[in-house]
């Protein structure tokens, strides 16, 4: 695309799964539509990223350093996988052994404290069932209280507080002080309730992986849309609306005239665009009220799956919590590929002492794994990591929360179009259920274009 003015019917801003799914389903419904997809980064895929690493069979194999899980409760994602002839495989997943609910190593006081805390959270959740958040007195109270404040007021043992802090970092990539009590309750409820986190079971949307990696989905979507319609390295700087339509302008001074715009990018990047007429203060403030999560995902390949030498791990698969001196900071699991090449993968959240330098961070990750599995873990073929907080035009993974005081407005405000041309798509924030972001990136556009 050159700097001349281009014309189309619909501009989709963002070439992650959400934006590409939007373009795909619009094209499928009306092949006469002229669609242009503008992506700020130099690649497609958004929060999915597949890398090739050295494997035990002497070749390169594929591992995902972004979203990777699919499952039977995700019919719209499964539809796309079948449509594009992408195969999944069922890795051995643990259904026994240590879970977040395993409190046997804790003191009686700490166990009682955590159990009572869980009961209180379940009780609060029930009060929100079937209510209008904007009109609910309970929702207002919960939204004005940070999850950290509620934790401090309702837990009385320091160990229990540390466990809850660590669980938040592992689940959200955020500190308890960065989210409201209301957001926490809404997220957990959308995921199926606290039991999903305390007692992980099969068929929660994370039992399958895609052979060859998730990023194939984006590549297939682009092929269907047409490569000539997708333009990389085009950060959008201005959106100007008028009676005749809308004008999208990028930092490279590329201009596109269109009738409709679909914004499928992170909230803080939506807020960074200049709008004419300007965004309503309430909507702009909401987009600016979404802190970023800090998650580093890693994959380590090996000649052999040494962790399977332990009978328990061999029988039940392998997944474990990574601990540092202050408590859990992440997860590691058996990530052997669909071709059977052994690997470990996982993620860590920010904690005191975690270096931002990739080499030092790698050493920290391997030290945590060695603490769990022993020195044999250091005999690696290849190590790869992705710090999603440093990814250009992404800035955080896997979740974003809304700051205390704003959550009760997010469902209606974020869904509302702006003026006549702009539609906002914020999958990980407005999805009515929270199975995972791969699912909803694909789901919302089937609903809107076939309904």
**Binding-site positions for substrate:** 347
What sign does the CA torsion over 72, 73, 79, 84 have?
Answer: negative
Q: Which residues contact 222 (CB under 8 A, 6 or more apart)?
A: 15, 20, 44, 230
- Residue 327: which of 199, 169, 154, 171 has the closest Cα? 169
Q: What are phi and psi of 212, to 5 degrees?
A: 90, -5
What is the distance in angstroms between the CA of the first residue and the CA of the last residue of the chain?
A: 34
Q: Where are the beta strands (DSSP E) in 316-365?
A: 319-324, 327-334, 343-349
How many whole angstroms separate alpha carbon 186 and alpha carbon 142?
11
How many whole angstroms separate alpha carbon 438 and alpha carbon 21?
11
Q: Where are the beta strands (DSSP E) in 34-140?
A: 35-38, 50-54, 60-64, 69-70, 88-89
Cis link prior to 187 (omega < 30° from 0)?
no
Numbered residues of the known binding site: 18, 39-40, 236, 347
* DSSP string across 73-89: T-HHHHHHHHHTT--EE
Numbered residues of the known binding site for FAD: 18, 39-40, 236
Q: Which residues contact 358 (CB under 8 A, 6 or more apart)?
A: 385, 387
How many whole angstroms separate alpha carbon 427 and alpha carbon 11?
18
């Amino acid at each position: 695309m050159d700097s001349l003015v281009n014309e189309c019917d619909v501009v989709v801003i963002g070439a992650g799964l959400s934006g590409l799914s939007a373009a795909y389903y619009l094209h499928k419904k009306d092949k006469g539509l002229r669609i242009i997809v503008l992506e700020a980064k130099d690649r497609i895929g958004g929060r999915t990223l597949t890398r090739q690493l050295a494997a035990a069979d002497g070749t390169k194999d594929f591992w995902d350093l972004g979203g990777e899980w699919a499952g039977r409760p995700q019919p719209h994602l499964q539809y796309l996988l079948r449509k594009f002839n992408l195969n999944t495989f069922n890795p051995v997943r643990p259904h026994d052994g240590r879970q977040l609910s395993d409190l046997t190593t804790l003191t009686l006081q700490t166990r009682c404290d955590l159990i009572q805390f869980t009961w209180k959270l379940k009780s609060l959740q029930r009060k929100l069932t079937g209510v209008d958040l904007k009109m609910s007195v309970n929702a207002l109270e919960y939204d004005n209280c940070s999850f950290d404040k509620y934790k401090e007021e309702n837990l009385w043992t320091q160990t229990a507080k540390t466990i809850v802090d660590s669980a938040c970092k592992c689940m959200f990539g955020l500190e308890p002080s960065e989210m409201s009590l209301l957001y926490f309750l809404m997220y957990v409820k959308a995921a199926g309730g606290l039991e999903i986190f305390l007692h992980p079971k099969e068929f929660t949307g994370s039992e399958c992986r895609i052979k060859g990696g998730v990023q194939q989905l984006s590549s297939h979507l682009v092929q269907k849309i047409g490569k000539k319609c997708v333009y990389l390295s085009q950060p959008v700087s201005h959106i100007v609306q008028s009676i005749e339509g809308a004008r999208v302008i990028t930092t490279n001074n590329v201009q596109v005239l269109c009738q409709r715009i679909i914004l499928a990018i992170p909230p803080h990047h939506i807020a960074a665009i200049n709008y004419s007429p300007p965004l309503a203060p309430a909507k702009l403030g909401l987009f600016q009220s979404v802190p970023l999560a800090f998650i580093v995902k890693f994959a380590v390949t090996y000649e052999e799956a040494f962790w399977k030498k332990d009978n328990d791990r061999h029988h039940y698969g392998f997944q474990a919590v990574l601990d540092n001196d202050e408590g859990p900071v992440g997860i590691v699991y058996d990530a052997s590929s669909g071709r059977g090449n052994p690997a470990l993968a996982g993620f860590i959240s920010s904690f005191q002492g975690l270096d931002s330098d990739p080499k030092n961070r790698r050493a920290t990750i391997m030290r945590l794994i060695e603490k769990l599995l022993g020195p044999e873990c250091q005999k690696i073929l290849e190590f790869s990591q992705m710090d999603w907080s440093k990814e250009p035009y992404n800035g955080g993974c896997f979740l974003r929360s809304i700051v205390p005081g704003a959550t009760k407005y997010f469902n209606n405000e974020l869904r509302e179009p702006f003026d006549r041309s702009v539609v906002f798509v914020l999958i990980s924030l407005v999805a009515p259920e929270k199975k995972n972001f791969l699912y909803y990136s694909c789901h919302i556009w089937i609903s809107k274009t076939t309904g």
